[in-house]
Structure 1
Amino acid sequence: MKIALLGTGFGQAHAAVYAARGDVEVVMFGRDPEKTGKTAGRFGFAASTDMDAAFEDASFDLVDICLPVPLHAQYVLRALEADKHVLVELPLADNLEDAQRVAEAAAGGDKYVFVDMFERFIPANQALFDAVRDGTYGRLEQLTLWNQTAHLWPGASLGLKVLPLEAMHSDMDIITRTLGLPQDLTVTTVARDENSGAIDATFRFDGAAARSSVSSLMPKAWGARGGYTAAFENGVLDAASTMGFDGKPTGTVTAYTTDGAHQLDLPPADQYTAMIGHVMDVLAGKAENRIAPSSVLDALRLTLDLDTKVNGTR
């Protein structure tokens, strides 16, 4: 499998996974020759600033897009036109119309498109999805999600303008996958400056409620922490985790019922390795695509609604 990895920023999280595999050949693409060469060299990859080659070189099987959000949809469509499989960082697009165009193009072609909904591969989240699907504790009535982080990614803004699309999209996916689309959305914000802020969003459903809270106001020593509390009719799941730049969280999930409290036995896994492993399994015919564009549209719709509440119409 030969992969064109576009982007030297967050692309490093994907690069670390590819570098640990023995079944891929990767070329990293970026705009700055020195930065691209240095970053690619850290992972043992070739480097290029000729972005067109990612699409025009027939030897590439998969284009992995880790570029700024406004470029996502157009580059996915370009890759499909070039007869390539595509993995794109979340969110799929910065507007629903482009996302729907990508979903239609993916459904109508023979090449796979994968959206990096990495949170679906976190074992703690899988435990929540399974409990809702199987009715393990009855109906889900209240879901609280929280993420608090320091500035762990040098140069990256974590202000109000970017937090909805780049930090809360995963929470919106969890909410829509467990409760559907809400009837109402209320938002409160705090801005320290243009690069640091906090958002607290509450969602109303028929017979249920959800909340998503994200903050980039934490000091470096805090690192990144998050989790959820899911209150069901007959029990509670409570998850907590810590995570660094490597994307490998450590955490626990505890179930509380009338029988007491017990910690769930979760498989060891990190989301990026699991997500890229899933991509490779699908391309090898070993699995069905769980992160196709059509599966992310509700989450994107809710994320864009949230972004409008926070930032107005872009």
Structure 2
Amino acid sequence: MSDRPLRIGVVGLGSMGLTHLQAYSAYPDAVVAAVADRDPRRLSCRAGDGGGGGGGGNIEGQGGGVVPADAARYVDADELISEADLDVTDICLPTPLHERFGLAAMAAGRHVLIEKPLARDAAAADRMADAADRSPTRSMAGMCMRFWPGWVELRQAVRDGRYGRVLAATFRRVTSHPQGPFYADGSANGGALLDLHVHDADFVRWTFGEPDAVESVGYARDTDEIDHVTTRYHYAGGPVVIAEGCWSMASGFGFEMRYCVNLEHATLDFDLGRDPAFRCITRDGASAAPIPAVDGGTGYGPQLRYFLDCIRRGRPADRVTLRDAAASVRLVEAEAESIRTGSRVTLARREARP
């Protein structure tokens, strides 16, 4: 690839589109050359306006991006994909549109980043993963917890065994119901189960492997899909792993993103609302020395930098493939089945595609 900056096209300027614009602005080897949104007001959005009514996101400072003055603007995303001179198409559209525009961008020969969740259902996610496997371009799903400071540290500690085996792990991601028409429509967003909780379901898979079974409880309140879920992920002979996801807390509750993982020789604890967010307490009661990189920033910038660096260096973007993201959608669907049936769902009978 030439030394010129990578040319990015961002499709969808809600809170995540603006969050990605903000992250790209700090990357010197990329330029946002085009944007698309069917709402013309968003094409001239300014920092902090929530993308023209698209919701400001859960994380403080999220959604602060600005559309560059010299970026080409499109109301029709198909025109951006077919006309703009781009290296990368970044899909930040509502979930049901991911498949259509993701496939179109791949067919146009673009590298493609697709926000989470990959698709509204596992069948669509599999079709996208199949297309990515056939494409000569690179594709990645926007599962930002795989890049979040503190969460990356947790996975490394679990995988290298520095504190012994994991005894129990709990994850909690809860907030009030987001505003906007997309979040009111369960048929589009899949409820908190898919739109919010998928972050933790994916991180559980990435860190502990595919569970043998899931056992979930939950309810619908703000949409006609599952808006509050608690799941136990069963691992034969392995740790107790539980994750809770909810966007049905009372208005004004705020946002909580936490984990607490108990290992043989330490407890690792993360709370986004605390300073410092990350703690490592060893069995003798001492706190491990702070890790500066763990308590600063989010996963959005590292995620985009990783993907663009993979493109620049000509290497696979295999930290989170579309196949990985499709498997996480399938895992969430197993949780939904467990809630509907009131029973444990064994993952072995839900065959993953090769």
Q: TM-score scaled to structure 2, two decimals?
A: 0.77
- SS of match in other structure, 1:262: coil
1:29-70 deviation digits (Å, cap 9, x = unpaired): 111223434468943344211222222125111111111212
Number of residue-to-residue matches in the alignment: 306
**Aligned to 1:273, which of 291, 295, 301?**
301
Q: TM-score scaled to structure 1, two decimals?
A: 0.86
**Aligned to 1:87, which of 113, 116, 125?**
113
What is the match of residue 246 of structure 1?
none
| Structure 1 residue 277 displacement after superposition | 1.1
**Is the Cα contact below 8 Å between 2:112 and 2:138 reproduced in 1?**
yes
1:235-260 deviation digits (Å, cap 9, x = unpaired): 22111113xxxxxx975222232222
1:164-210 deviation digits (Å, cap 9, x = unpaired): 11101110111112222223322222444438942212222112221
**Is the Cα contact below 8 Å between 2:164 and 2:264 reproduced in 1?**
yes
Are 1:73 and 2:99 counterparts? yes
Are 1:134 and 2:163 counterparts? no
Q: Which amino acid aligns with 1:214?
A: G
Pair 69,154 (structure 1): closer, same or farther in 2 beyond 3 Å? closer
Pair 287,219 (structure 1): closer, same or farther in 2 beyond 3 Å? farther
Pair 311,238 (structure 1): closer, same or farther in 2 beyond 3 Å? same
**Aligned to 1:198, which of 221, 224, 228?**
228
1:118-173 deviation digits (Å, cap 9, x = unpaired): 00111111111101110111222311000121345555527874211110111011
**Is the Cα contact below 8 Å between 2:269 and 2:279 reproduced in 1?**
yes
Q: Which amino acid aligns with 2:91?
A: I
Q: Sequence identity of aligned pairs in percent?
A: 26
What is the match of residue 18 of structure 1?
24
- SS of match in other structure, 2:116: coil
**Is the Cα contact below 8 Å between 2:169 and 2:262 reproduced in 1?**
yes
What is the match of residue 222 of structure 1?
253
| Structure 1 residue 103 displacement after superposition | 2.3
Mapping of residues 33-72 of structure 1, within 5 Å:
33-38=40-45, 42-44=66-68, 45-57=71-83, 59-72=85-98
Unaligned runs of 5+ in 1: 243-248
Runs of 4+ off more than 6 Å: none
The two structures, once aligned, show a CA RMSD in angstroms of 2.7
Unaligned runs of 5+ in 2: 1-5, 52-64, 342-354
Q: Which amino acid aligns with 2:299?
A: Q
Pair 250,296 (structure 1): closer, same or farther in 2 beyond 3 Å? farther
Mapping of residues 277-292 of structure 1, within 5 Å:
277-285=305-313, 288-289=316-317, 290-292=319-321
What is the match of residue 13 of structure 2?
8
- SS of match in other structure, 1:24: strand
- SS of match in other structure, 2:125: helix
What is the match of residue 245 of structure 1?
none
Are 1:304 and 2:333 counterparts? yes
Q: Which amino acid aligns with 1:212?
A: A
